[in-house]
Amino acid sequence: MDDVSKGYWSATLGLLGKILAVWFVVSFGAGILFVDVLNNIKLGGYPLGFWFAHQGSIYIFIALIFYYAKAMGDIDRRFDVHED
């Protein structure tokens, strides 16, 4: 593997790691593991943990994918491997 593709792949994996961390925290963390603690906080009429499980995690998933698409586009151009 040459240096460019090595660098490209490690940049990609770095980005994936960061996004998956957020993905895990909002769903499995806030929505399941720490739901009872968060339920003590209220978001309007929603207990916060319940909100993450039934609403919040979905909104954050969407943001994550668009962020990923944009950040990957930047990485593609930085390593000059983008489509024309």
Site string for other proteins, 38-57 (x = CB under 8 A): -x---xxxxx--xx-xxx-x
Under the binding rule (CB under 8 A), the answer on residue 16 touching other proteins is: yes
The residue from 10, 37, 65, 74 that contacts other proteins (CB under 8 A) is: 65
CA distance 36 to 79: 45
Under the binding rule (CB under 8 A), the answer on residue 5 touching other proteins is: yes
The DSSP-derived string for the chain is --HHHHHHHHHHHHHHHHHHHHHHIIIIIIIIITHHHHTTSEETTEEHHHHIIIIIHHHHHHHHHHHHHHHHHHHHHHTT----
Residues that bind other proteins (CB under 8 A): 1, 5, 8-9, 12, 16, 19-20, 23, 27-28, 31-33, 35-36, 39, 43-47, 50-51, 53-55, 57-59, 61-62, 64-66, 68-69, 72-73, 76, 81-84
